[in-house]
Every structure is written in structure tokens, then in C-alpha cells.
Amino acid sequence: MACVARSACVIGWLSLATLGACATGPRGPVERALYGDLAKAVELSDNTGWVIDRVQLENNAEAALRSVCQVAPEKRQALERWLDAQVAEAGGPAADIYRRNGRDLDAVSDVLELERVRALLRYAHERAGADCPFWLEPDPSFLGVQSDHGRLVLFAETIGYGSLLVDGDDSALGGGGGGRLLAGYGVAPQLTLALGVEAGGSGAFRNNEMGSRSLATTFSAAVPVLARVSSQSRVYDFEVAPVVRFNPGVDAFPPGVRSLVGIGFTTMRAAALMPYALLWLGYEYHPADEQSPADHAVHVGTRVGIDWDP
């Protein structure tokens, strides 16, 4: 089981290193924030099948204008020049790369995304004068709409999981669920740190005093400490939490500890809410006490929640 915990840590560090190595964008913070918002809209549209440019640009117009309206025209133009340079550096336009590579669409995916971001930027820029509402004015310190950067946010989640538990010589299958509420802050364009509370219950088929298996239930509470790394619509969670269990006749303290890694996606932020969903893998350890030996558990589950910017 210790090997599982070490593996989770290695996966976490490798994912962070990969994101850091691959992260590219405009130098200016405003241009970089605008690029992140538009690229997320394009990525989500790509996932559902971007075929007709006109249709997808119209579908994404409102979300794009929420960001573009808050960026001064000269910053929009600077972003467009950066996109032009990126397309040229990659050997674009995409149609030329497609023909040079035997009409292989996978060969142009990165350049095609850049061109679609540029098309969405131009589409919103052309309509900004007529369509931007009076309350969305250029902000010289614009940090983006679709990220948590510079925001105090609340995460409200439901959690469910299946488990493999090892208690001394006994192993059992089980599962559980619960709810969580965390408060976080976007400390960087791609990094949110959060702290919260969690409550839930679990059950497992364990050996009883009669030598047969029966369902044993447990109520628990935890204090998760979360680091969330975002890359457009994708999120990567790394978490550690002290966990206390409330079993009859057993002391709740000292607590156990749980670590987990998760990967998922977010949708576009609508008003103040941005829904998300994740798959996660976790390892949990509880020390021995007078009643039972140390036990270990591997959890695999899902979390579904909302990122609320109050």
C-alpha cells in the first residue's frame, strides 16, 4: 500500500512538471488571460466536434465577448499578432500542413486550434463595439473569466467511490460517498489552493465475530487540502487530508490520512458558476489502536461539483 502512495506522489509531480513544461502563451498577463479564456472555449467546442466555423463562432460569441469586452483593443490586437506568429512558426496555415502531411488531420490539430482561437478573437473583436454591455469595460488588470486567478472561490462537491480495504490479514471490498465544501484562491493563472471540510459514510463487507461476512458501516469526516492545476478545460487535483472515523467503541483520534490525485474537466463559467467533474485515485491509512491493527485502503471514485465565484 505504501507503494500506491508513492506512485500517487510520483504521478502528481510528473503531471505538474509536464504542465509546466508545456505551458506556453503570450507574455503580457492580460493577453495571456484572454488567450486562456478563448482557448478553453475552442477546446470544449473541439471536443463536441467543430466542423462549421460560422456555427461554432456564433455558439461561442457570448462567452468570448464576456472576456473580450474587458480587454482594451490594443491588447486584443497584440494577442492576434502573437497568434499570427505562432501559426507561422508552426508552418501554417493549417490547410497547407494538412496537404503536406497526406491529408492527416491529426498533424494539424495544434495549428488548427490556434487558428480557431484567432478566428474567435476576431469575431468577438468585430462585434465588441456594438455588443459589449455598458458594465463590461476594459480592465487593465484583467485576469480572465474562465480561471480562478485572483479570485476567492468556493467548491461544492459530491463524492462517490469504491474501495479495496486491507485490515491486518483481512481484505474487503466496499464503497462510500459524501459531500465537501472548500474555499480556495487562485494564486496563479493555472494554480488554485483550497482548504475545506468533508463528511460522508462508507461500508464494507468484513468478517464479523461469527466468522462470516457482514456489512460494516462507518461515518467519517476529513479536512482536505487541495492544489488544483488547470489547463484550459482540464483540471488536475492533488490532495492530502486528515480523516477521522466515528465507529462505536473506537477512538476517533489519532486521525488517519488520505492522499489522492484526480483528473477531470470544467465547463465554461456561466455567471458565477463553473461546473466540473473528476475521476480520482486515492490511498488512505489509519494507524493501529487498541481495538484493531493498522488498515489501508485504495479508493477509486468520482467527484462532481461547482466552482462558485461569489
The pLDDT value given to residue 254: 86
The pLDDT value given to residue 217: 79
Q: At which residue does the C-alpha cell 477531470 appear?
A: 264
User: What is d(CA 196, CA 222) in angstroms, rounded to the nearest whole number?
Assistant: 8
**Every domain range in the chain assigned CATH 2.40.160.20:** 147-308
Q: Which of 146, 169, 157 is nearest to 60 (CA)?
A: 146
Amino acid at 242: P
The pLDDT value given to residue 166: 85
User: What is d(CA 64, CA 287) in angstroms, rounded to the nearest whole number?
Assistant: 51
Check: CATH 3.40.50.2300 for 147-308?
A: no
The pLDDT value given to residue 253: 79
Task: Spell out the per-residue pLDDT of the chain, length 310, in tens.
Answer: 444 444 444 444 444 444 443 447 898 999 999 999 999 999 999 988 899 999 999 999 999 999 999 999 999 999 999 999 999 999 989 999 999 999 988 899 999 999 999 999 999 999 999 999 999 999 999 999 999 999 999 999 999 999 998 876 778 888 899 999 999 999 999 999 999 999 999 887 766 666 566 677 789 999 999 999 999 999 999 999 999 988 766 676 789 999 999 999 999 998 899 999 999 999 999 888 777 778 899 999 999 999 999 8
Handedness of CA 120, 135, 193, 4 (dihedral sign): negative
User: What is d(CA 146, CA 235) in angstroms, rounded to the nearest whole number?
Assistant: 12
The pLDDT value given to residue 70: 97
Cis ω for the linkage preceding 93 (within 30 of 0): yes
Handedness of CA 104, 109, 111, 112 (dihedral sign): positive
Q: What is the DSSP letter of 106?
A: G
